[in-house]
Amino acid sequence: KQEVTQIPAALSVPEGENLVLNCSFTDSAIYNLQWFRQDPGKGLTSLLLIQSSQREQTSGRLNASLDKSSGRSTLYIAASQPGDSATYLCAVRLSWKDTGRRALTFGSGTRLQVQP
């Protein structure tokens, strides 16, 4: 069974800092990995999707990397802003051949607070 772990569970940083959020997964036979942002009491917003054949994806100040063999992904946020405060979730989708696990498996998230 795929398990997804996110470290740290919570993080508080001053505005302007660069930071790294970590995600690890136990089954490396993934098809893709997706990073989401969730504001309190709200739904999820997709940030980046990395296919298993890719090493990284970038969107603005966000950069996500994937090391499938070691079961790790990182989300790098450059020059953090108070508006980045949210919970960041990592989710993996197993390979298509694993027909019992087609949907996403989520981590518990990292709750980020950026102090002005």
Q: What residues line the site for another protein (CB under 8 A)?
A: 4, 31-32, 34, 36, 41-46, 49, 89, 91, 93, 96, 102-109
Task: Kindly state the smallest distance separating residue 27's Cβ from another protein, in Å.
Answer: 15
Q: How far apart are CA 107 and CA 7, in angstroms?
A: 10
Q: Which is nearer to another protein, 60 or 96 (CB)?
A: 96
Q: Between 36 and 80, whose beta carbon lies closer to another protein? A: 36
Q: Beta strands of the chain (E only): which ranges?
A: 4-7, 10-14, 19-25, 30-38, 44-51, 56-59, 62-67, 72-77, 86-94, 105-106, 110-115
Closest contact distance (angstroms) between CB of 42 and another protein is: 6
Amino acid at 40: P
Give the Cα separation of 61 and 93 in Å (integer): 25
Q: Which is nearer to another protein, 32 or 63 (CB)?
A: 32
Q: Name the minimum Å distance from CB 32 to another protein.
A: 6
